[in-house]
Amino acid sequence: MVDEFLSTRQMGWVLDRSANAVRTMIRQGEIQSVRLPAGFRVPRAEAVRVARQRVKTEAGRKVSDRELERLIDEVISTNEHRT
């Protein structure tokens, strides 16, 4: 998957939060996004940054951008197949 932007729903899957929680984080400036008529979209680079921060905080380890992008794609793919 090579989507340039993630929806708040997809970003929620990455962070294990609800889409509403992601929108709140965007409004509070914790996540940078683009506002479109259909809602917020999070640039892939920002998704990687936020995912890196989560892994570092929760697991105490560093992960490469390539591995983070692969993990993000896996999370999105898995959740899209469930819905």
pLDDT per residue, tens digit, the chain (83 aa), is 447 999 999 999 999 999 999 999 999 999 999 999 989 999 999 999 999 999 888 888 888 999 999 999 999 999 998 87
The pLDDT of residue 69: 93
Residue 12: both structure tokens together: 């929620």
Provide the whole-model pTM.
Answer: 0.88
Give the per-residue pLDDT at 38.
87
Q: What is the pLDDT of residue 29?
A: 97
Within 13 Å and on the Cβ side, how many CA atoms surround 81?
Answer: 6
